[in-house]
Amino acid sequence: MKQLSYPLTLSIFFVLISVFSFGQEICNNNIDDDGDRLIDLYDIEDCPCTRADTFKISLIPNPSFEVVNCIPDWVSQMNCAEGWSQATLATTDLFSTDGYMSNLVPLPIPDGNNCVATIFHWDWMEYLGICLNGPLLANQSYLLNFNVAANVYLPISEIDTPPIPIDLVLFGKTTCDQFPLQTYVCPESFGWKEIGRITYIMNESWGKSYIFFTPQEDIYSIMLGGSCNYAEVENHQALDGGQAYIFWDNLQLNLAEEEIIYYVPNTFTPNGDEHNNIFNPVFVCGYDPLEYRFDIYDRWGEIVFTSLDAEMGWDGTYNGLPTKEGVFGWKLEYKAENTTEKKVLTGHANLLR
């Protein structure tokens, strides 16, 4: 048998390397696994559209920042995440367990090896910004789910992160313009409009949150960060000169489509101020209000509060007296509309005064 020549053998070797260096396309992770420059359902050959009802593709490209064209070795390297760039002159940070990782980042990262961070300060507001895979259509309801954590960043030292409420705001624009915006603060003067927000209680541990919204016009690009009036209305003074450092991961943006949409906070502060005085699940849509029960337990397993109405939450009292600070367990029973199956969820929440 005639042996293959050395150049031909080498050529076949490199072909095999190029083929097998990529795996089979995984159709629900927003990553180009097989190296054909097509991702998930956009890879028609490997992910037939008949599977579209089994999962959802985020309208945000590279939503977990896992696809990279470089490994960050310092702060302000958002451009290393494929499809992303700096949204404004105030520079967002990309962190990676494969490269640079700040000691302020809570570990483990919820999804993969990478996450991003934005600073909220009265004269330095960092944002995430990107053009979408497809437009958000006017008068359609959408849900942005994401993992979030927070820390207080000080130039010289670190302090414990207090449970300060801050607003996380979603901005949209009817065009897809080039980034970065020539600003260090709010993007509203550049034609960006607020399309949704949620109040988040700063917590050093990763948690899940969401923004439910209905745009009034078609939106082709989004920005995510702090509110425009942060300096006037937020409790930034409580940070003792520090800056709110917010960590983000796994930004899943999809049509709401009759889902059960709810959120259970992990902390509440019934101290009589204007923020976060009542603890209850927040249901947006999709649940049966006649099949709802919410119980709160103390550390000994005794029920201290029960509600059969999703609009009625716990004010932190028992038998008319304020309860002490601590961790309380909760149990939520609910049913989706047009189904007979009840669901039961349990968890814990911190009561702080």
63: preceding bond cis by omega (within 30 degrees): no
CA separation for the pair 15, 10 (Å, rounded) = 9
Q: What is the pLDDT of residues 155-207, one digit of tens each?
A: 544 556 667 788 899 999 999 988 999 999 999 999 999 999 988 888 889 98
DSSP state of 189: G
Q: What three-state secondary structure class fits 306?
A: strand
Let me know: does 280 contact 314? Beta carbons within 8 Å.
yes
CA separation for the pair 61, 184 (Å, rounded) = 24
Q: What is the pLDDT of residue 11?
A: 43
Alpha-carbon distances, residue 296 vs 182, 307, 321, 330, 344 (angstroms): 49, 9, 15, 5, 14
CA separation for the pair 147, 348 (Å, rounded) = 18
In the chain, what percentage of residues exceed pLDDT 90? 42
CB atoms under 10 Å from CB of 185, counted, come to 20
State the DSSP H helix or E strand holding residue 287, giving kind and residue range, or none if neither.
strand 287-297
Q: What is the pLDDT of residue 108?
A: 93
The more confidently predicted of residues 223 and 240 is 223
Let me know: does 105 contact 95? Beta carbons within 8 Å.
yes
Q: Which residues pair with 287 in a beta bridge?
A: 336
Query: What pTM value is reported for the model?
Result: 0.63
The more confidently predicted of residues 265 and 352 is 352
The more confidently predicted of residues 131 and 46 is 131
Q: What is the pLDDT of residue 10?
A: 42
DSSP state of 126: -
- Close Cβ partners of 29 (under 8 Å, ≥ 6 residues apart): 40
Q: What is the pLDDT of residue 231?
A: 64
Q: What is the pLDDT of residue 118?
A: 96
CA separation for the pair 166, 144 (Å, rounded) = 17
CA separation for the pair 306, 282 (Å, rounded) = 15
The side-by-side arrangement of strands in the sheet containing 128-136 is 128-136, 219-226, 165-173, 193-201
